[in-house]
Amino acid sequence: MNFSNKNLLFFFPESPFSKRAGNVLRTYTNLKQLKSLGFNIDLVGVEDYYNSFGDSPQDIDSAIINDVFVLKTKPPKKKLTLEYWKYKIQKKFNKENSNQYLTQYLKDNFTALLAQKKYDYIFINYEFWTDLIRDQDLKGAKTIVDTHDWITLNEFYNNKNLDLGKRFGKEINNLSLYDKVVTISQDEYFIFKSFLGDKVINIPPSFPENFEGSNIEKKYDLIFVGSDNPFNILSINWFVEKVLPLLPKEIKICIIGRICKHVPDHDNIEKVFFVDDLNIYYHASKIAICPMLKGTGIKIKVVEAMSYGLPVVGTEKAVDGFSDKKNNGCFVSDDEKEFAKMITKLIDNKSDYLQLKDEAIHFFKNNFSEKKSVELWEKTLNF
């Protein structure tokens, strides 16, 4: 189907062009693939997010995005204006929302956007922004939500007193409002499909193949790429404290991203806070590690590493959402001694290393290719 005359409104709170974390990088990839199908895409973000990350609406790719709208969460602080007092009073009477940025002022601004232009598709990222479309006149637009994660479980990790039944009921209720519900994890696909039926479709993350540089001389034994979210901080601290002391003294480790702020200085670790091009570092590394202890959904960092032909050593969380928990290019264990042994085995035994590397490449080609992803988007949106 040709979508060249179709208008798509794409909501993602932060700038997808920063590519600072796995979820952001995947969103950028989705935009590229949707554009390749011919859509006219308008991007909507939230000013508080842009400001907190130091992003600018000017830093977009005009080859992908037609217009960008960065919405405010509250009116300017001019106490003499009617608008200011209107929202000040509304805030007192509105029921408390767990998403503090989803204010009535933001919703009203989103409504104003919908009034300006007719959209054929409205694309919302994350279930907890669903109130943006609730009770709106969408003028016949088809709605899609990209779940990213199982939000109830994610929130439970951060709050053990969470009322699971109430929160999951709300999540399912929100997802039921959409025409299509997109997951990236096979596990979450089965959960949501059980409640919501055929409107749920799984579209795994995708990357271009970068296998051609895999024979470059290796500078690092291990590589870890991550933002400074709480799950990454917990995971890399576990690795440094529990696993690193068990590894060979000469091992070389490269850690990239904002996670470096939380990594102690160590003779074996090279910290790189930001790079424009990860290709150089992935091609210079032998093995990717993913020591995640918490979190939901597919780990984008694992798929990205596989796109470079790297085998992965991780915890059991590293293969969350995979269609096959074995024969996928990953060695996994939650035990620090086993984790260290798996790394040492791959470094010392070339045949084991090459076998796992081949598995990673094969699994990537069968599950995470760009071509397959574009075909799934086309099928999902053709309804």
- Start-end of H helices in the chain: 22-36, 47-53, 82-93, 104-116, 151-158, 164-175, 186-196, 230-238, 279-283, 300-306, 336-348, 350-367, 370-381
| CA angle 271–275–277, rounded 5-degree value | 130
Distance between CA atoms of 178 and 138, rounded to whole angstroms?
Answer: 12
Residues of the chain with CATH 3.40.50.2000: 7-206+370-381, 211-367
pLDDT band for position 11 (cuts 50, 70, 90): very high
CATH topology of domain 211-367: Rossmann fold (3.40.50)
pLDDT of residue 324: 81
Give the number of other Cβ atoms within 10 Å of residue 162's Cβ: 15
pLDDT of residue 1: 67
pLDDT of residue 105: 92
pLDDT of residue 78: 63
Q: Which of 49-58, 95-104, 368-377 has the lowest mean pLDDT?
A: 95-104
> Could you report the per-residue pLDDT of 225-276, keeping only the tens digit for each?
998 888 899 999 999 999 999 999 999 999 999 999 999 999 999 999 988 8
Give the number of other Cβ atoms within 10 Å of residue 289's Cβ: 29
pLDDT band for position 202 (cuts 50, 70, 90): very high
What average pLDDT does range 6-15 have in this prediction?
Answer: 97
pLDDT of residue 212: 79
pLDDT band for position 92 (cuts 50, 70, 90): low
Architecture of domain 7-206+370-381: 3-Layer(aba) Sandwich (3.40)
Q: Is the pLDDT of residue 82 over 80?
A: no
Q: Is the pLDDT of residue 183 over 90?
A: yes
Q: Is the pLDDT of residue 90 over 70?
A: no
Distance between CA atoms of 5 and 40, rounded to whole angstroms?
Answer: 7
What average pLDDT does range 165-175 have in this prediction?
Answer: 94
pLDDT band for position 81 (cuts 50, 70, 90): low
Distance between CA atoms of 316 and 313, rounded to whole angstroms?
Answer: 10
pLDDT of residue 96: 59
Against a cut of 0.85, is the pTM above it?
Answer: no
Query: Which has the closest alpha carbon to 256: 46, 19, 5, 93?
Result: 19
Q: Is the pLDDT of residue 362 over 90?
A: yes
> Could you report the per-residue pLDDT of 271-309, keeping only the tens digit for each?
999 888 889 999 999 999 999 998 777 899 999 999 999
What average pLDDT does range 88-106 have in this prediction?
Answer: 73
Q: Is the pLDDT of residue 145 over 90?
A: yes
